[in-house]
Structure 1
């Protein structure tokens, strides 16, 4: 039996700027059908928040052009500027010779033209409210903020896709040089209080609680993003199963719902290779 092709099933991006204009950063991530994640990011020392939002989306589209990806997949972003620019304003700008309705030159034209060329059939933009507990948006924001402050955060490199090279349009800020043998390195006041992996886990668990409390139904792709399991594994599930402190219950329409169990429950899904 031929091995299943690993595909990108979800993506997210965000931008940040300290000062606006000022030093900025962007962050993005790709989720694959085998449960792996690839993160990327970069910085610009003199930019705006909008330029970083556009740069993050451009990096994702350029990466997706060289990767198998699920038809109809969405790039999640909290930037209405990005979504409205591509979906609503672009055609009018081009008709008017890259002028706005007021007759002014379109800002960030270089990035808009690059985004227009990089569009991919079957890939859409989806809006998510910023700082609302969405784990992928929160992670991209953390990457973008770190780069905007001159730090190089640790980025996830999906083990299943290490042979794929994903390039960033804006070069990442290089890590600070190691202190010399006789130097005493001062502590970095900007270091996060917890490792990124734990921060991501907390965001996922908090989101799971909110989804359970609201009784929301999740598609297979959404569930795979939350529990970080391969989509192919979830497609084989038919009955209720346990994930951490939640029962995952099948719904009649093919979706799944979380139900909170007792905190610290010892029950858990024990399928090999899942987490």
Structure 2
């Protein structure tokens, strides 16, 4: 959502593709109810609450200018497969902060990594 907001601010059209229907629903649907109930839910704790709160706040800022779309994971969609490998690379390098990838862009090498 942070990258989407920056892209929108620079005049770009933005669509966020995500393979987690759960993540999409947390930010674009369920968070409205959780927020109305002071960030609680009937079924217990909201996992990753701070992350959801931040993503939802950003979503609210750009909701009229962004599409959030579900794509099937591990279905051979190149962008989704690259995102999967990039997340694995971040875990392997113990990167905890959100940051753009600064390494050499070699999609073939990234796609050759073990999938998650």
Whether the TM-score (by the shorter chain) exceeds 0.5 is yes
Shift of 1:135: 0.8
Kindly state the Cα deviation for residue 201 of structure 1 after the two structures are TM-superposed.
9.1
Counterpart of 2:52? 112
**CA-CA distance at 1:61 after TM superposition:** 3.0
- Taking a change above 3 Å as real, the CA distance of residues 151 and 107 of structure 1, as seen in their structure-2 partners, is closer
Q: Is the 8 A contact 2:4 2:16 kept in 1?
A: no
Greater percentage in helix = 2
Deviations 1:189-211 (A, max 9, x none): xxxxxx83335799xxxxxxxxx
Count how many residue pairs are aligned between Structure 1 and Structure 2. Answer: 107
- CA offsets, 1:166-192, max 9 Å, x none? xxx5357xx9xxxxxxxxxxxxxxxxx
Select which of 26, 48, 72 maps to 1:85. Answer: 26
Are 2:12 and 1:69 aligned? yes
1:32-90 Cα shifts (integer Å, max 9, x gaps):
xxxxxxxxxxxxxxxxxxxxxxxxxx3423432432112xx421110112111122211
Instruction: Give the equivalent residue in structure 2 for 1:124.
Output: 67
Spell out the pairing of 1:232-243 with structure 2 (5 A cutoff): none
Whether the 8 Å CA contact 1:76–1:127 is kept in 2: the answer is yes
Hey, what does 1:235 align to over in structure 2?
none
Unaligned runs of at least 5 residues, structure 1: 1-57, 153-168, 176-194, 203-275
| Aligned-partner SS, 1:145 | helix
Cα separation, 1, equivalents of 2:36 and 2:94: 41
Aligned to 1:60: 3
In the other structure, the counterpart of 1:272 is none
* Residue 86 (structure 2) pairs with residue 198 (structure 1): no
Detail structure 1 runs of 4+ shifted over 4 Å in the superposition.
199-202
Q: Hey, what's the Cα distance between the residues in 1 that align with 2:111 and 2:52?
A: 34
SS of 2:68 mapped into structure 1:
strand
Larger radius of gyration: 1
TM-score by length of 2: 0.72
**Aligned counterpart in structure 1 of residue 41 of structure 2, from 95, 100, 113:** 100
Choose which of 142, 146, 153 in structure 1 pairs with 2:89: 146
Instruction: Choose between structure 1 and 2: higher strand proportion.
Output: 1
8 A Cα contact 2:85 2:111, kept in partner: no
Separation of aligned partners in 2, 1:95 and 1:114: 16
Instruction: Give, in whole Å, the separation in 1 of the partners of 2:111 and 2:46.
Output: 40
